[in-house]
A and B are shown apart, each in its own frame.
Chain A
């Protein structure tokens, strides 16, 4: 079964450092997403991406965050200057489309980001 692959599985970074989280969505999917989950809290939407641009973003996704699909296969989330409160599990997801042909989002297994 096709999978969304995220790397690394765990990343530790110092406060103020830039971090890039990487995701390889399912190959025929067209819509890409980042969600995050702070330990013990809800899964929160960050951003959705389609046709090389952001479709929708939440209040969490401020100027410190950016997304990119640099080479047609990878989908990355960059945090420019990490804060302690950015520590969370970050999930990438992709979907083929919506409507009658909908099979739901496929989520990756996540990257646990720890900011120290």
Chain B
């Protein structure tokens, strides 16, 4: 599976949009981009995933560049409860497939 690179940490003001970047320059054609987050020591929580097109759900938006070598997760109105470690994972969309969690981006939402 392709490797991803994320900034170690970011801050965001409460109520503002949080934009979390991820580089995945070696992504292959059948690999999806997934985003999960981990709040404190809880289990990781699924946020969103995509292949080529931009995606939006009730939690976030995912913007994937045309060459698919990078993506950005957008939390439109960050709250204090969004403080967490955010993981960008690239993997084949295959059931039973393992995910490789990197070190992620530690997002701190500041009041």
> Is A95's CB under 8 angstroms from B95's CB?
yes
Contacts of A35 in B (CB 8 A): 44, 101
Contacts of A50 in B (CB 8 A): 95-96
> Is B102's CB under 8 angstroms from A42's CB?
yes
Q: Which of B8-16, B35-43, B64-72, B76-84 contacts A (4 or more CB under 8 A)?
A: B35-43
Query: A44-B101, A104-B49 are contacts. A56–B96 as well, Cβ < 8 Å?
Result: yes
Min CB distance B52 to A, Å, is 14
Interface size of B by Cβ–Cβ distance < 8 Å?
23
Q: Is A43 located at the chain interface by the 8 A CB criterion? A: yes
Contacts of A103 in B (CB 8 A): 46
Min CB distance B86 to A, Å, is 13
> Is A91's CB under 8 angstroms from B46's CB?
no
Footprint of A on B, CB under 8 Å?
A: 34, 36, 38, 41-47, 49, 87, 93-103
